[in-house]
Each structure stands twice: as C-alpha cells, then as structure tokens.
C-alpha cells in the first residue's frame, strides 16, 4: 500500500508547465477549443456566465469570452492565471480568473449558469474529484449546465500505465489512480494523480447531477506501445432545479 498523500498546494509542477516554452500546443491560450466545448456551449443561454474549473492559461476562457459569454476561471497555478488574464485582456475579454485549489472554489453559491472542466479534474485523488464536483454543483444555479471529461479505462494509455505499475515504475495509489512518486521533472505532470474511469465510476462521480449525455469519445491510435484506443468519457450534466 502506497503512503502517497497529495498536497494540492504543491503547484510547482503546473508552474513549470504553464511558464515553460513547451506548453503542448493544444493547451495554449489561443489554441482552438475542444470540439466537445464547441458543441456543449450551444446549450448554454446566450450571454450566460460560465466557470472554467482548471482553466490553465485561458484557452477556453478566450473562446467562450469571444462568443459573448461572461467568463470566470480557476487554476492552481498563479503563473497560469496571470497568463490567462493577459490572454483575455489581449482580446478585450473581461474575465474573473483566480488562483485556487479546485476543491474550494472562491465564489458564492449559485453564481454561474454553466461550468466546464476539461483535462483537469482527474489530476487528484478520487476524493478530490468528488469534492470538486460538489463545489461545482454549489456554485451553479439551479438548472446550470456542466461539461466534464474523465480519462477512460478502455484506452491504450491505461493499459500502458498498468504495465508500468506491474514493472515497479509507477504507483497505483488507489484503484485506477496512478502517480509517479519519483522526483518532479520539468514539464512533467506525472507527479500528479491521474484517475481513470469506467462508465460506472463516471456515473457515480456525477451522481448529484442529472446526466444529460455520457459517452466514451474514443478513437484508434498506434504507438510504440501497441495499438488501441485513446480518448475520454465526456459528460453533460445539469444541476437539478430543486433538491
């Protein structure tokens, strides 16, 4: 049994990623949005308020603000937040962006019409994911919409991680949650938990929401490690109007 305890205040790894010259192109401030975001936001009321949980350097804040939505974002990296604010300012987008752990969102109850979290929420132990979704539920208005994704167990990456655990190269700190407990390497996020979901786990994480859609957004891949699928579970949820 691993003795791993994740301290979310240890944001050094994210600072190195967001302040480096090696940010993956798809995550940069002015990179195109996820297709899932483009489709989902059509269901959000025009001009509504949207929170990006784990906003990084502001890619989806820039896109959504440019679409006329009122945007806010939270990220654990102060450097990432500064870059997100600068990117929004460059496009003349008013954005409320704050540095915070996503398990304690610094906004009042029922603030937002919608919230999204892409490629972010799974970088925690599962209890942190539950807390983050509870906080997201809290800051949504009744009827508020959610978009979230989770890494999928039916993927080549998951199979590779399981092989690394078997080889003693990686630690499975709890079921389907993997961490590299070695020294933090520049530009590497493997020191963070990576939690993978099957459908039952995804549905359980979203149990407080009405699930509008849930699907495995997978595609075929081939790499040195073999052939298989890549992708994530994607979910649209809604905070119930009552209860």
Helix (H, G, I), strand (E, B) or coil at 197: strand
In whole angstroms, give the CA distance from residue 191 to residue 182.
7
For the chain, domains (ranges, CATH) are: 12-150+197-216+234-238 (3.40.50.150)
Give the pLDDT of residue 186: 56
User: Position of tokens 């929420």?
Assistant: 121
pLDDT score for 180: 85
The whole-number pLDDT of residue 175 equals 97
**pLDDT for res 242:** 81
Any idea which residue has 């530009």 for tokens? 187
**What residues form DSSP beta bridges with 73?**
52, 97
- Per-residue pLDDT, 182: 65
Could you give the CA distance from residue 147 to residue 217 in angstroms, rounded to a whole number?
13
DSSP 18-82: HTSS---GGGSTTSPPPHHHHHHGGGSPTT-EEEEET-TTSHHHHHHHHTT-EEEEEES-HHHHH
Q: What is the pLDDT of residue 192?
A: 85
**pLDDT < 50: residue spans in the chain:** 1-6, 8-10
pLDDT at residue 226 in the model: 82
Which secondary structure element, helix H or strand E, spans residue 95, and what is its range? strand 95-99
Q: How far apart are CA 120 and CA 148, in angstroms?
A: 9
């Amino acid at each position: 049994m691993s003795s791993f305890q994740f301290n979310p205040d240890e944001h050094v790894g994210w600072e190195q990623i967001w302040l480096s010259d090696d940010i993956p192109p798809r995550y940069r401030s002015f990179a195109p949005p996820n297709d899932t975001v483009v489709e989902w936001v059509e269901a959000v009321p025009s001009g509504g308020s949207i929170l990006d949980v784990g906003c990084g350097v502001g890619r989806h804040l820039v896109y959504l603000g440019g679409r006329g939505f009122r945007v806010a974002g939270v990220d654990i990296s102060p450097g990432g937040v500064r870059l997100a604010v600068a990117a929004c300012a460059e496009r003349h987008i008013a954005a409320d962006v704050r540095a915070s752990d996503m398990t304690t969102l610094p906004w009042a109850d029922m603030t937002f019409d919608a919230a999204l979290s892409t490629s972010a929420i799974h970088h925690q132990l599962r209890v942190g994911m539950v807390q983050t979704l509870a906080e997201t539920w809290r800051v949504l208005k009744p009827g508020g919409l959610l978009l979230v994704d989770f890494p999928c167990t039916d993927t080549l990456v998951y199979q590779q991680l399981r092989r690394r655990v078997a080889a003693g190269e990686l630690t499975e700190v709890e079921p389907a949650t993997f961490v590299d407990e070695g020294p933090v390497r520049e530009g590497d996020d493997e020191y963070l938990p990576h939690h993978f979901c099957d459908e039952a786990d995804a549905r359980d994480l979203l149990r407080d929401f009405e699930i509008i859609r849930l699907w495995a957004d997978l595609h075929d891949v081939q790499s040195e490690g073999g052939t298989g699928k890549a992708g994530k579970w994607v979910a649209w949820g809604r905070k119930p109007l009552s209860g």
